[in-house]
Amino acid sequence: MSSYKAPGPTAIEVHASKAVPNAEAEQILTQYIEATTESTDQLLNMSSDSMPSVVSRNHAMIQQLRRVQRDLRGLPPLDVEKVDEKETENEKDKEEDKEEKEEEKKEEDKEEA
């Protein structure tokens, strides 16, 4: 069994905020991504049953932060992301078509009755 224990919830109060230029935000984000990646790499070197779930959550978070980082740099989304978006749109279109067909069938059944 692992001795790893997740930290408890944290409460934060925001009293004021200020806008950060994109270049500075990108720099902060890059530092955070590098530190988190290093931490994740260290977790991979440890042998524990609970670590794979932590690593997979970190990987998903890092991927999302890298998308934000690319946007801050003014770069377009990666081709993989574009393909995922197209697949999602195609799935939505298929669902809408299916719903329309079901509604048409219900109307036809009502007319026959």
pLDDT tens by residue, 24-65:
999 999 999 999 888 877 777 775 655 666 667 778 888 999
- 75-111 per-position pLDDT tens digit: 888 876 555 555 666 666 677 777 777 777 777 777 7
Residue 29, domain extent: 20-76
Assess whether 89 and 111 both reside in one domain: yes
Residue 75: both structure tokens together: 């770069």
Residues 26/73, Cβ–Cβ less than 8 Å: yes
Give pLDDT, residue 100.
75
Given a cut of 70, whether residue 1 has pLDDT beyond it is no
Domain assignment of residue 94, yes or no: yes
Q: What pTM did the predictor assign?
A: 0.50
Assess whether 86 and 106 both reside in one domain: yes
Give pLDDT, residue 106.
75
Domain assignment of residue 51, yes or no: yes
Residues 73/24, Cβ–Cβ less than 8 Å: no
Domain assignment of residue 105, yes or no: yes
Assess whether 63 and 82 both reside in one domain: no
